[in-house]
Amino acid sequence: MDEVNKELCNVSDPYVINVAMPPRPASRPRFSSKGQVYNDPTYKQWLSDFSEIVRREWEYDCLEHVSHNEIIFNGQTKRGDLDNYLKACLDGLVYSRVLKNDNLRVLDSIETHFFHVKESDPWIFIKIFP
Average pLDDT on 60-72 reads: 95
Q: All domains of the chain, ordered by start, with CATH?
A: 2-129 (3.30.1330.70)
Average pLDDT on 62-71 reads: 95
Cβ-count burial of 75 within 10 angstroms (0-12 exposed, 13-18 middle, 19+ buried)? buried
41-56 pLDDT, tens digit each:
899 999 999 999 999 9
Residue 76: its pLDDT value, please? 85
Average pLDDT on 8-34 reads: 84
| Residue 4 pLDDT class (50, 70, 90 cuts) | very low
**pTM: predicted TM-score of the whole model, two decimal places:** 0.84
Closest CA to 108 of 68, 70, 71: 68
pLDDT at 89 over 90: yes
Q: Which residues lie across from 73 on neighbouring strands? A: 114, 124
Residue 118: its pLDDT value, please? 81
26-41 pLDDT, tens digit each:
988 778 888 888 888 8
Residues of 16-36 as b/e, b for ≥16 C-beta within 10 angstroms?
A: ebebeebbbbbbeeeeeeeee
pLDDT at 108 over 60: yes
| Helix 82-95 and helix 41-57, axial crossing angle in degrees, nearest 10 | 60
